[in-house]
Chain A
Amino acid sequence: MASLTIWFSALFIIIPLLFSARQKLALEKEIAVSALRCAIQLFLIGYVLQYIFASNHPVLIALLLLMMLLVATWNAARRGAGIPGIHWRIASAMIFSELVTMSLLIGTGSIKLTPQYLVPLSGMILGNAMVVSGLFLSQLKREVNSSRGEIETLLSLGATRRQAIQPVIKRVIKASMIPTFDTMKTMGLVQLPGTMTGMIIAGASPVDAVKYQIMIMFSLAAAATLSAMVLALLCYSLWYTPEGYLREQEQ
């Protein structure tokens, strides 16, 4: 893409800016800052990726993946604000889903162990795990509060802490995974996803692009399931006191 074209793309930002000004939405600053941040962050990561891909140094790749993991963890943990020990639990769930998914992709020969595959796919997997983890935590907080009676009834009937919260966890896992599967259902009908679009624009055959997209969508579904499952396993005990009482307050 010619450098001049990227400057023309700034015209697109003028549309929301004008709309906000005319409708007095007071969003001009927000729009300008967002657009600027988006451009700067993407340029930065573009140059960083170019450097890392060229150097092909494992430490640099690991550092980049670590940064992605930290940002994704921090972002998802905001949904679980106030829950002690939530950061390491989210990070563990993400690392687990990343390791399993990438191992399968590499192990089956679907992708090569090169930064060109590893970095963008990890970004997608971690990004999806971040959305699922955030949804899971916010829904779990809400659902435990609204289902206190059900949990305590099960506890009264001799259920273990895990048994008592299990029905709630199931509902929450289901709810947090639905967006991933809804996206899969409409894929190709409503939206042409980023990877596929990018590959086609870059000159790849649409059928090849579709094959990659299918692989990515399926691996994202697996990553979403794994991160929700691991997070559920690591998190449920946080809703109980050490003595086994269901915590009184919303966390």
Chain B
Amino acid sequence: MSMLLQLKQLAKKRPGSTDSYLFRNLSAAVAEPQIIHLLGFSGQGKSTLLRIIARLSGADAGELYLFDQPMAAYSPEEWRSTVCYVAQQPIMLPGSVEDNLRIASHLQQIPFDRDYARQLMERMELHLDWSKAAAQLSGGEKQRLALIRALLLRPRILLLDEVTSALDIHSQHAVEQVLLELQRSEGTAQIWVTHQLEQARRISQRIWFLAEEQLLEDSSPQAFFHSPRTEEARRFLQTSLEKVTN
């Protein structure tokens, strides 16, 4: 069966350590364009794993496959145009909102799809003057603009690292709807890192739970939230629930 993305025996040591691992022998596969949520306690290497998949950081061991081809078969820029990472801290590039929107088309030497950009802005309820300096936007506006900037690249796989953390609930839902629609209509697979379990419950189609140096669980949201297989996952859900109720 053809695979979108495969992670084979990935390992990453903790920064500065020679024998302590964030994760090792980590394997997983994405066969169809799903929305996957990568969950786990802080410091387990969720963001690091996304950065490795995005080819922004190297793994200490293991291999990545995209469309059944090893990573080495792609140039870094080919890979990153197909598997696009959106960071938790939205970095605005120098210039205006429009300069930021145009950057992907400028880099790829392809025409700028103004209509698509406008449509995404409207659907994410981002009503901005395009000539405004991007650096002057609020945290939530920057986060949405960074996401739209990535979507204009039309990647096949999106890696989203806490991309709604600075949004109010209303904007958060708007962003979720756009990304759900994108998955349905264009078949964009998405791997989300989030600390918001409610969000994972709402839109996730699959859960990866990272703990004890492994993907301890790879299951449907129903199975994970209602009957987690591992003690560690039960502890995670319990702790997260306590945080919410407190």
Contact = CB atoms under 8 A, between A and B. Distances in A.
B169 interface: no
Nearest to A243: B58
A155 interface: yes
Interface string A122-165: 00000000000000000000000000011011111111110100
Contacts of A245: 55-58
A161 B76 contact: yes
Given A155-B77, A157-B81, 10 more contacts: A152-B87, A153-B91, A155-B80, A156-B84, A156-B86, A157-B80, A157-B149, A158-B77, A159-B80, A243-B58
A120 interface: no
A163 B81 CA distance: 14
- Interface hub of B54, B57, B80 (most chain A Cβ within 10 A): B80
B111 interface: no
18 contacts: A149-B89, A150-B91, A152-B56, A153-B146, A156-B54, A156-B84, A156-B87, A157-B84, A157-B149, A157-B153, A158-B84, A158-B108, A159-B107, A160-B77, A167-B93, A243-B76, A244-B76, A245-B55
B104 interface: yes
Nearest to A157: B104
Interface of A: 149-150, 152-161, 163, 167, 241, 243-246, 248
Interface in B91-114: 91, 93-94, 103-104, 107-108
Contacts of B81: 157-158
A164 to B, nearest CB: 9
Contact of A155 (B56, B94, B104): B56
Nearest to A245: B58
A81 B54 CA distance: 31
Contacts of B208: none
A153 B58 contact: no
Contacts of B76: 155, 160-161, 243-244
Interface of B: 54-58, 75-78, 80-81, 84-87, 89, 91, 93-94, 103-104, 107-108, 146, 149-150, 153
A150 B93 contact: yes
A157 B107 contact: yes
- Interface hub of B75, B84, B107, B150 (most chain A Cβ within 10 A): B107
B87 A149 contact: yes
Contacts of B94: 150, 167
A58 B86 CA distance: 60
B92 to A, nearest CB: 9
Nearest to B95: A167
B56 A156 contact: yes
Contacts of A149: 87, 89, 91
Contacts of A150: 91, 93-94
Nearest to B152: A157
Given A244-B76, A245-B58, A154 B93 contact: yes
Nearest to B159: A156
A160 B76 CA distance: 8
A241 to B, nearest CB: 7
A44 B124 CA distance: 73
Nearest to A152: B56
A40 to B, nearest CB: 48
A74 B93 CA distance: 36
Nearest to B83: A156
A156 B80 contact: yes
B133 to A, nearest CB: 15
B107 A163 contact: yes
Contact of A158 (B57, B58, B91, B153): B153
B113 to A, nearest CB: 15
Contacts of A241: 58
Contacts of A248: 57
A244 B107 contact: no
